[in-house]
A and B are shown apart, each in its own frame.
Chain A
Amino acid sequence: MDETIVHAYGIVADNEALAEFPPGIAETRVWVFDTDGLGAIVSLLPVEGFGVSDWERNAANVSWLGRVARQHHEVLQYASMNATVVPLRLPSLYQSLESLAATLGAASDRLERDLGRIQGKVEWAVKAYRTAKADRSAVSAGSASGRDYLIARSRDLSARNTVRQQLSEQVREIHNALGEVSAEQVRNQPQDAALSGRSEHMLLNGAYLVSRADEARFLELVGKIADSSLANGILVEVSGPWPAYNFTGDAEARATEALK
């Protein structure tokens, strides 16, 4: 048999019955490997093509990385629909199942804490963008003389600042309102327009840990907020449910750090 390497996708309690996983990275078979008290969602990747040097070589290869990220995510998405799962950050490679078991044993306290934290909850993402409407309201018509120009320009700048402050305040209110219906919430750094391919400026990149019992209420509130914000030049979008990527490990600390 060709040499393999262990890839771990996420952690579940060891008694979770998860049978029909989608194919893992490189179309490999995925299963739950039970260790002492914890289950690791794993598959065996061929070393040829997925060894450490391959990850390094493909670090800038979007099609390779995108495919791997998608397969990693699809396994976690399936698991999180059917169980409480702590997602592991990509890449998560181990020499053998034995070394994985030893590693999990050493980290079992914080993994169990994470499992408890997200039990019965799912992550929703809400983003807000500044629409062209908000931009236009801060721009005045062209001016005739130099003096008029300077006055108009100063008025423009101050109007733009006011608009910016108002938008920022509204977005803070949106985030807080959604937080009221959530167990936890976090504001991540807005995504770069070059990466997202969106022309609108991103105002909010929020993640919300919502109890399954509150999901309908949360989504209803998002719908209401989306309706009322549009008139103020804010476009609100929701996606999910996601595995709890933002509410496990040190994700929150990283987000806080990124916003500084």
Chain B
Amino acid sequence: MSDVPERWSDEQVALVDLIDRVIGGGVVITGDIVLGIADVDLVYLGLQLVIAPAHEVEQSISLRRRSA
């Protein structure tokens, strides 16, 4: 436990960390092909829909509808 943590290889990067940063972070430069914020929300909520337990799905759907 006291060892300095080892650096990881890419295979170990958890999907949730990846999505958090790759879709939630970084710089947005609006290009000529714009995928709006609503689409990005869809991406994130879409992920929740697939991973979340059944009882939480309903809530995600209502969130999705609100953001649409």
Contact B29 A87 (CB under 8 A): no
What number of B residues sit within 8 Å (CB to CB) of A?
Answer: 44
Give chain A nearest CB distance to B33 CB in angstroms. 4
A-chain residues with CB within 8 Å of residue B30 when the two chains form the complex: 103
Contact B29 A107 (CB under 8 A): yes
Interface hit among A56-64, A139-147, A152-160, A165-173? A56-64
Partner of B13, one of A70, A86, A192: A70
Chain A proximity mask over B20-37: 1 for CB below 8 Å, otherwise 0: 111111111111110100
- In the assembled complex, the Cα of A191 lies from the Cα of B17 at a distance in Å of 9
Contact A194 B32 (CB under 8 A): no
- In the assembled complex, the Cα of A111 lies from the Cα of B16 at a distance in Å of 27
Interface hit among A12-20, A90-98, A128-136? A90-98
- In the assembled complex, the Cα of A11 lies from the Cα of B24 at a distance in Å of 17
Partner of A60, one of B24, B29, B49: B49
For window 71-110 of chain A, which residues contact chain B by CB distance below 8 Å?
A: 72-74, 77, 86-95, 99-100, 103-104, 107
Cβ of B47 under 8 Å from chain A: yes
A-chain residues with CB within 8 Å of residue B52 when the two chains form the complex: 192, 194-195
Contact B2 A59 (CB under 8 A): no
Contact A60 B47 (CB under 8 A): yes
Cβ of A223 under 8 Å from chain B: yes
Give chain B nearest CB distance to A57 CB in angstroms. 11
For window 211-260 of chain A, which residues contact chain B by CB distance below 8 Å?
A: 216, 219-220, 222-224, 226-227, 230, 237-243, 245-246, 248-251, 254
- In the assembled complex, the Cα of A251 lies from the Cα of B50 at a distance in Å of 26
Cβ of B7 under 8 Å from chain A: yes
Contact B13 A73 (CB under 8 A): yes
Contact B7 A240 (CB under 8 A): yes
For window 5-19 of chain B, which residues contact chain A by CB distance below 8 Å?
A: 5, 7-8, 10, 13-19
Give chain B nearest CB distance to A147 CB in angstroms. 35
The contact sample of 8 A-B pairs, CB cut-off 8 A, is A8-B31, A59-B46, A65-B47, A88-B26, A103-B31, A219-B5, A242-B21, A246-B25
B residues adjacent to A (C-beta < 8 A): 1-5, 7-8, 10, 13-33, 35, 39-40, 42-43, 45-53, 56
5 closest pairs, A vs B, by CB?
A60-B46, A245-B25, A249-B27, A89-B26, A245-B21
